């Protein structure tokens, strides 16, 4: 990667994405080849949002590359509150070789990367979830043997996951339909950027409000929870609005017969997806989760290998 940091899919090119996929697949095939790739190097893990997959995949991933991690909880840092983002960045750049941040406001990772001389990886913000999208498209590539020309129908809230899927699809030539209720569309700037990026690959990035129309001829149906972290107070109201967008067997029947089902997890079974779908042969949610480990190892390797 030419980029110093990985804050959004738009930081890297189509060619760099495919290079990352290739490294991730190589790591997945033979872990021993990279067992000392980041020997002695340390990664600070800043968590202001809890996580199963992000915590485990980064923690285990850096160890499998020969490095080690330091977990920093909200109680220890509280970015911008207990201590300024600038001061935290300036402290950590002298002690570790990379930082992963999982937080709320996207501006925090932007500011942190601006002030830190070491690589910064976005583990999730309210705006973007780039590592998830990289794992998603790696999974699709493994299952479908190609990416360009496929259609991904994302069904649900136009959130951070939707943004990253749009950015990745635009880069890779994958059509992405965001199927959502009115007033729950993706961020307007994110949509504009994705549509602009898609001109180079011919991908179609669109918003569709009709669930059946949105998933028609889809190669992949993807969903996420209806209320993200920080939106718990809206959960009950959102259930009523999003119920017609539940991914169930009836909705899956309108996609291609061999369509994959994907979910970034955690899943609220019975809400955005039924057990019948998430536990079906079409579901690849656990392959997708595993690929977080492999793709993030590839990202850490590319960004951190030359850091002293």
Decide if 94 is catalytic: no
Question: Which position among 10, 53, 102, 163 bears the catalytic label?
Answer: 102
Burial of 30 (C-beta count, 10 Å sphere; 0-12/13-18/19+): exposed
CA of 150: how far to CAs of 15, 130, 153, 203, 239, in Å?
18, 19, 10, 9, 30
Instruction: Show contacts of 184-188: CB within 8 Å, 24+ apart.
Output: 184/157, 184/158, 184/241, 184/242, 185/158, 186/158, 186/159, 186/162, 187/127, 187/158, 187/163
Decide if 102 is catalytic: yes
Decide if 129 is catalytic: yes
Judge whether 287 and 260 are in contact, CB under 8 Å.
Answer: no
Residue 11 has, within 13 A of its CA and on its CB side, a CA count of 23
Question: Which position among 53, 263, 264, 271 bears the catalytic label?
Answer: 264
In residues, how long is the chain?
A: 308
Decide if 292 is catalytic: yes
Decide if 25 is catalytic: no
Residue 297 has, within 13 A of its CA and on its CB side, a CA count of 33
Instruction: Show contacts of 187-192: CB within 8 Å, 24+ apart.
Output: 187/127, 187/158, 187/163, 190/127, 190/163, 190/166, 191/166
In the numeric block, the tokens 């029947």 are attached to: 253
Tell me which residues are annotated as active site: 102, 129, 132, 224, 264, 292
């Amino acid at each position: 990667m030419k980029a110093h940091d990985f804050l959004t899919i738009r930081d890297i090119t189509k060619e760099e994405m495919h290079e990352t996929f290739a490294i991730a697949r190589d790591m997945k095939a033979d872990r021993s080849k990279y067992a000392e790739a980041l020997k002695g190097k340390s990664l600070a893990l800043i968590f202001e949002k809890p996580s199963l997959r992000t915590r485990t995949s980064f923690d285990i991933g850096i160890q499998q590359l020969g490095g080690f991690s330091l977990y920093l909880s909200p109680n220890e840092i509280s970015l911008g509150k207990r201590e300024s983002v600038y001061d935290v960045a300036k402290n950590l750049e002298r002690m570790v070789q990379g930082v992963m941040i999982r937080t709320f406001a996207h501006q925090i990772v932007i500011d942190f990367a601006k002030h830190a001389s070491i690589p910064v990886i976005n583990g999730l913000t309210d705006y973007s979830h780039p590592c998830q999208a990289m794992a998603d498209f790696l999974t699709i590539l493994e299952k479908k043997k190609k990416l360009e020309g496929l259609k991904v129908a994302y069904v649900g809230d136009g959130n951070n996951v939707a943004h990253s899927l749009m950015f990745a699809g635009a880069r890779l030539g994958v059509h992405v339909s965001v199927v959502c209720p009115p007033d729950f569309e993706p961020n307007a700037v994110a949509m504009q950027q994705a549509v602009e990026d898609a001109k180079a690959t011919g991908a179609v990035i669109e918003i569709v409000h009709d669930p059946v129309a949105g998933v028609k001829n889809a190669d992949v149906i993807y969903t996420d929870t209806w209320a993200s972290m920080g939106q718990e107070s809206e959960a009950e109201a959102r259930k009523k609005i999003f119920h017609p967008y539940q991914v169930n067997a009836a909705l899956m029947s309108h996609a291609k017969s061999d369509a994959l089902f994907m979910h970034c997890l955690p899943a609220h079974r019975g809400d955005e997806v039924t057990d019948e779908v998430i536990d079906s042969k079409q579901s690849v949610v656990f392959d997708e989760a595993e690929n977080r480990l492999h793709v993030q190892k590839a990202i850490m390797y590319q960004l951190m290998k030359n850091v002293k």
